[in-house]
Chain A
Amino acid sequence: MYRGYEAVIGLEIHAQLSTKSKIFSEDATAFDAGDNENLSLVSAGLPGALPVLNRKVVEFSIQAGLALGCEIRRKNTFARKNYFYPDLPKGYQISQYDEPICENGRVIIFVGGQEKTIRIIRAHMEEDAGKSTHFGEYTLVNYNRAGVPLLEIVSAPDLRTPEEAAEYAKTIRQILKYIGVCDGNLEEGSLRCDCNVSVRPVGTAELGTKVEIKNVNSFRFVEKAIEYEIERQVDALERKEKIIQETRLYDSDKNRTVPMRTKEDAQDYRYFPDPDLLPVIITDEMIKEIHLHLPELPSARKKRFIEHYGLPEYDAIMLTAEKEYADYFEATTKISSNPKSTANWMMTELTRELNQANIEVDKSPVSPAGLAGLLKLIDQGIISGKIAKTVFNDMWSTGKSAEEIIKDKNLTQISDRAAIEKIVDEILSQNSKSVLEYKSGRTKLLGFFVGAVMKATKGQASPDLVNQILLDKLKR
């Protein structure tokens, strides 16, 4: 709710499909290539060069469609979207128009602890354009991106707040990354967002005039750009101004949107079926085969983590945020047989180190077997949780196993009753005044004694045993 208005938001997400070669030609998609190195006769748009569809693009699109709950169109066609711009060598972009590969899907998002279903109208295959850099007097164009496969995912106008829009975009990214069809790399432009925003007085059913914000490339900017746009539109309506249907650009430096083009000079794309390409025929067998190999999706996995491992919902959400992270958890738990302590250690020690070193979990120097080995030593009472933390740090920096480190550094927990009793006796005789105070009622001093014993044993004494012995001796 914004001063009596509500926002209606729809997102168009362009996701780069993680193929090695382009959608219609064999030139590579590698991001770090030199200028115009990933170019072929087809993607340069030379006359007579014919597009041949990359099988993987169709497979990835079906996978994404299934994961997003879409129907897969058994016969879908490519169309030409005609416009002149130097980043488009052919004078048209090959896209899909009236017969897209995926339709009528939905995703569930979580905002403020609430579930919300967002419908997906369609998802279609298309080629990316080149990259232009403007220098005032001239423009330079690099066509490495031209012909890179994209899946454009169009949501219904079901989103109502900037937070919902950002959460929806994050959920789409998570799902596409999970099934391995998009690397989700925002810095490299693997995921770009166009946001359609309108506002209307609360309680009205009629939609307001829609404004499109182009090419927003981070989730934070999705949120901020929409936030700004809602405020701008409500301000205008309060001043009794009309909203102009237009395309705007988000300027992240100044945190505002600026006009790009109005409806009057909106493009007439003159779509028509591309005669160079045959319709894509998808059989039931193809869909069945792909469905069979579709990995478990994040929401299902989260549910399973709660039910099967008995984890709290918070833990399950954290652990399933990324597929590799969830894989790490399951691999570790399989050996440690202790899901809760595995979860705790991953969410604290492991995550901290990963963030600090800025590496992904599958590159962690502490393997699932390594972490599980450490957790087992704690569960067996061989080391305390406190010592385990220093052992973990050593494992991280040396790559050694917990057992090796404990042996090298002689860190085994003292669970020899006689040894601890001896130390307790020493501590008590050194602090006879405190002992008297304790006996006269200041039982809070127990913590002081425990601390002193732990210090004397360099933290290696079994805390349970220390407590037991202290209470026993102080009673006398």
Chain B
Amino acid sequence: MVDLKTIRKIAKLSMIEMSENEEADFSSQLSKAIEYFNQVSEVDTKNVDPMTTPTEIVPHYREDVPAQVVSPEEILAIAPERTGNLYTVPPVV
């Protein structure tokens, strides 16, 4: 079982608020998921390189040409709160 202390840490890292009931629920659900990964990690992968992508293809690069696709006005239109052309967010310090 994933203990409550770990659950609270994960919740904090994910910026999620949880009720006590939810903490218990997630504790059992996460335990199952972790159990499954423990099972996966039993496979011997000593001589296998970690796979970051299934195919070795040369990435598509973008050339270094600047362009303005959206105006500040358009993009700030969806900001929950703004001051002039700046985003307003809750205090962080």
Contacts and interface: CB of A to CB of B under 8 A. Distances in A.
A86 B66 contact: no
A86 B87 contact: yes
A374 B66 CA distance: 44
Q: Is chain B's interface secondary structure helix, strand, loop, or mixed overall?
A: loop
Contact of A277 (B59, B87, B92, B93): B59
B23 to A, nearest CB: 19
Interface residues of A, number: 49
B88 A140 contact: yes
Contact of A36 (B52, B62, B69, B75): B75
Contact of B92 (A53, A139, A278, A279): A139
B91 A139 contact: yes
Interface string B1-28: 0000000010001010000000000000
B53 A21 contact: no
Contacts of B84: 35
B85 A44 contact: no
B91 A28 contact: no
A40 B71 CA distance: 8
Contact of B87 (A134, A143, A268, A270): A143
A53 B91 CA distance: 33
Interface string A429-467: 000000000000000000000000000000000000000
Given A26-B62, A28-B68, A281 B87 contact: no
Nearest to B84: A35
B40 interface: no
A108 B84 CA distance: 48
- The A contact surface, by secondary structure, is loop
A138 B64 contact: no
B55 to A, nearest CB: 9
B57 interface: yes
B52 A77 contact: yes
Nearest to B55: A278
Nearest to B14: A84
Nearest to B9: A268
B59 A132 contact: no
Contact of B56 (A82, A85, A136, A281): A281
B9 to A, nearest CB: 8
A407 to B, nearest CB: 49
Given A141-B86, A279-B52, 18 more contacts: A21-B62, A28-B66, A29-B66, A30-B66, A34-B72, A35-B72, A36-B76, A40-B70, A54-B61, A54-B62, A58-B61, A86-B90, A86-B92, A137-B91, A140-B87, A142-B87, A278-B53, A278-B60
Closest 5 pairs (CB-CB, A-B): A55-B61, A35-B85, A56-B64, A28-B66, A278-B59
25 contacts: A20-B65, A20-B66, A26-B66, A28-B67, A30-B66, A35-B86, A36-B85, A36-B87, A39-B72, A41-B75, A52-B60, A55-B64, A56-B63, A57-B64, A132-B92, A138-B89, A138-B91, A139-B90, A139-B91, A141-B86, A141-B88, A273-B52, A278-B57, A279-B59, A281-B56
